[in-house]
Amino acid sequence: MRSDPFSKEAGLPHAVWPLKGGKWLDWAWVLFFIANLIAMVALPDWETVPFHFIWVSLTLLYGFRVWRTGKTVAALGAVIVTTGTVIVLDSLGGSQPWGEVTEVPLMSAMFLAMVWHARRRQSALDELQRLNEANEGLLESEWRFVQDASHELRTPITVALGHAELLQSTAPNDVARRDARVVVEELMRLRRLADRLLLLAGSQHPDFLHTTRVDAQSLVLDAFRRWAPVPRRWVLGDLDEVTVEADPDRLSLALDALIENAVKHTNAEQSIALSLQRRNGSALIAVADTGTGIPPAVVGHIFDRFTRADAARGPDGGAGLGLAIVKTVAEAHGGEVAVRSAPGEGSMFELRLPVAMGAPERNRADASPSSQ
């Protein structure tokens, strides 16, 4: 399907250029041309007015339509012959000076200049369209490659992980168990990476989300319980009762990614707080920590794929896909994610989602902040 270079996405007024299927405009111009030609014959003293109407209208029409070469030559030839003939006859009759005949080649030159510029523009747009189609094909190929590669990786990783866990449980000594544990951890990291690549690859697919009405408070509480065993100072902040229209699995994955990011940048003595507020028609899920924070140079790119706040953290720092997944899931739900952070002072990530239509306004739950 031909993309529209005048679409709103391109930042230009919505229109189609050149105008296709506008034969009615061609016929309207033909009638306008005949009417002005009759006026040239009937009013020889005023013939220059309809003469210029004919040529200016032809130039404007071509600017919209950009006819094929044959049609362009036919229209130009018809206008040159008819208008030129009328002016020559009037000059022979003495009603017009012979100098008026020079208007015909001058107006023809103006029209040809329009033809040249319009065809250059059309060639540029055709080339842009060709490049867009090539890029779309390339992106489609890349998407299929990532999707296929992720699927293909899952099976051998799962098989190898099963054998590594078996070796870990049956290892004859501590050294073998330690080595097997390292293999298990790395294979699990590879499996998470494959899962995340697969999720990102499928984010543009129409079936990416399977939405239903979700109790956001329960979702946050479930995430809090899942992560509570990790040695951190966990804080459960204010929880409003909010219903959102969302995919609970994708939303849980995004929330886990935010919490996982907070865990990676804190130690056992530092705190991680979860909260949920209803604000201005949105559900605002916040994950705040008192960890290392994010350097200012990285904050603007923290949600880009493969961006890591501290590249020197080593393998435990992750592949830089977790926050990209959060952004993808948030935008797929019509929401957004934002961050406020300062080095050495911790970070606060806010996941904003629209409240489900018709969801009632409720008071804040009595779940008081607690720490663990």
pLDDT, tens digit (0-9, with 9 covering 90-100), for 53-92? 888 888 888 877 787 888 888 888 888 999 889 888 888 8
The DSSP code for 20 is P
Residue 6, pLDDT score: 37
Q: Please report whether residue 24 resides in a domain.
A: yes
d(CA 364, CA 366): 7
Phi, psi of 306 (to 5 degrees): 65, 20
Give the CATH number for residue 272.
3.30.565.10
In the chain the first and final C-alpha atoms are separated, in Å, by: 57
Residue 3, pLDDT score: 41
d(CA 16, CA 6): 6
Q: Please report whether residue 190 resides in a domain.
A: no
Point out the domain boundary residue: 74, 109, 135: 135
Asked if 273 and 228 touch (Cβ cutoff 8 Å), the reply is no
Residue 316, pLDDT score: 42
Q: Please report whether residue 263 resides in a domain.
A: yes
Do 76 and 217 share a domain, yes or no?
no
Point out the domain boundary residue: 120, 135, 150: 135
d(CA 289, CA 347): 6
Residue 208, pLDDT score: 80
142 HSE (CA, 13 A, CB side): 9
Do 222 and 129 share a domain, yes or no?
no
Q: Please report whether residue 163 resides in a domain.
A: no
Q: Please report whether residue 1 resides in a domain.
A: no
Do 234 and 347 share a domain, yes or no?
yes
Residue 14, pLDDT score: 42
Q: Where are the alpha helices (DSSP H) in 94-239?
A: 103-170, 174-201, 216-227
Residue 277, pLDDT score: 94
Point out the domain boundary residue: 111, 135, 159: 135
Q: 225 CB contacts (<8 Å, ≥6 apart)? A: none
> What is the extent of the structural domain holding 226?
212-371
Q: 192 CB contacts (<8 Å, ≥6 apart)? A: none
Do 120 and 247 share a domain, yes or no?
no
Residue numbers in the chain where pLDDT is lower than 50: 1-15, 311-317, 363-372
